[in-house]
Amino acid sequence: MDRENVKKNEKKNFMKEVKRQKFLLFWSAVFVIYGVIFYYIPLAGWAIGFQDYKPQMKTNLLKIVLQGKYVGWKHFDYLFKDERFLKAIKNTFAMGSLKLVFTTVFAIG
């Protein structure tokens, strides 16, 4: 066989395989899209946490992440010094601990 026939056969076999596994490819694409939307896009929020971001900015997310002014821990210092935040964290841990204790006791008993 010459090269042209081999390439044609490879392309034909590839398309046949794609048609045969179209449902697998469809569901794979669905899960890849789901992963991008719910796992990778939220990671941009981590980058925004370290930048001087103002919600009223009318730019796209990629531009904000790549070109934003880096301010370091400034926002987190403000957050951890706020009494309301510390009280909310303390309440969250208290409620979580109580839930853990009560659900364990009721599950065993």
Taking only the tens place, the pLDDT of each residue in 65-85 is 888 888 888 888 998 999 999
Where do the structural domains in the chain lie, given as residue ranges?
A: 73-109
* Number of residues assigned to the chain: 109
Model pTM score = 0.51
For residues 45 and 105, the model is more confident at: 105
**Which residues make Cβ contacts (< 8 Å) with residue 1, sequence separation at least 6?**
9
DSSP state letter for 68? P
Task: Evaluate whether 47 touches 65 at the Cβ level (below 8 Å).
Answer: yes
Query: In the structure encoding, which two tokens stand for residue 45, read together?
Result: 């929020």
Give pLDDT tens digits for 2-24: 777 777 777 888 888 889 999 99
State the Cα–Cα distance between residues 23 and 21, nearest whole angstrom: 6
State the average pLDDT for the chain.
Answer: 88
